[in-house]
Structure 1
């Protein structure tokens, strides 16, 4: 078994491994480093140790967050990935509306904080703040007069 060199001095192979790891994290949910290591081995990266996976995760700025199913899983941070909303996120949304001053998003229980974070990851000029509870998100528009435009921005971000 070989050990990958320090990722601060990445070689072409290390760069490819980093990109493959990043892509796996964007496409799948991993609850342990060993499951991610096994996925890399399955893709032909034999000899990957747990410490190599740990260094990859640190290099990519990966954090462990609670997912929509309530399990802790490894997630790329805003600095390391662009937001990509798919049907599994939009399926968690029950309602998006506004009351002429705030945009209100009703979600399935336990999904609101994750969805609020997705809105916050890439700041938009029309959004001042988001507040995520258990099943409700309040989105505060920068200006109340632009609440309809703020709602449209939220809908576009969430694929709703």
Structure 2
């Protein structure tokens, strides 16, 4: 690889890291309901050649999700990497019901909420819970032992502040 190519790749990586950093700051400081608003703000900040698809890939790479804010509007939100997440009414309000079928515990959530709730469960392990898998509005909890499925469901309720 010639020197010009190495410099170009190095510059591209620095610009990409800068874009990621700026996007994180924007999402922490402001509420955005549509990707177009994020793109427009990035353009204002000097990223003139950013496309809508680039914004979409960036949000995916950051693990951004849409969750309802205090007024019920769905806004883009960075995942919380803090291991000391506390259950609050906003998480509990996203759960529609919890049940089991003797093999797995199922949590039905409002659309778009399953991923963050599953992440919360995985980051707050309980001896009865093997793990969680999330879709858009459904979470499947694998119990450590199917003979203790009721205890697993109770552990999920306890973990989510519903017990």
Give yes or no for TM over 0.5. yes
Q: Across the two proteins, how many residue pairs are aligned to each other?
A: 103
1:106 aligns with 2:108: yes
Separation in structure 1 between the aligned mates of residue 97 and residue 146 of structure 2, nearest angstrom: 20
Separation in structure 2 between the aligned mates of residue 113 and residue 82 of structure 1, nearest angstrom: 17
Q: Deviations over 1:107-142 (max 9, x none)?
A: 111111111111011222211121111111110001
Q: Deviations over 1:29-60 (max 9, x none)?
A: x853555xxxxxxxxxxxxxxxxxxxxxxxxx
Which consecutive residues of structure 1, in runs of 5 or more, have no partner in the other structure? 1-29, 36-62
TM-score, scaled to structure 1: 0.56
TM-score, scaled to structure 2: 0.55
> Structure 1 pair 76/115, CA: closer, same or farther in 2 (3 Å)?
closer
Aligned equivalent of 1:71, options 71, 75, 78: 75
> Structure 1 pair 124/96, CA: closer, same or farther in 2 (3 Å)?
same
2:111–2:136 contact (8 Å) kept in structure 1: yes
> Structure 1 pair 31/116, CA: closer, same or farther in 2 (3 Å)?
farther
Greater Rg by CA: 2
Which consecutive residues of structure 2, in runs of 5 or more, have no partner in the other structure? 1-24, 31-61, 69-73
Where do residues 30-45 of structure 1 align in structure 2 (5 Å cutoff)?
Answer: 32-35=27-30
1:64–1:72 contact (8 Å) kept in structure 2: no
1:68–1:114 contact (8 Å) kept in structure 2: no
Separation in structure 1 between the aligned mates of residue 67 and residue 28 of structure 2, nearest angstrom: 19
1:101–1:144 contact (8 Å) kept in structure 2: yes
Larger RCO (CA under 8 A, 6+ residues apart): 1
> Structure 1 pair 143/67, CA: closer, same or farther in 2 (3 Å)?
same
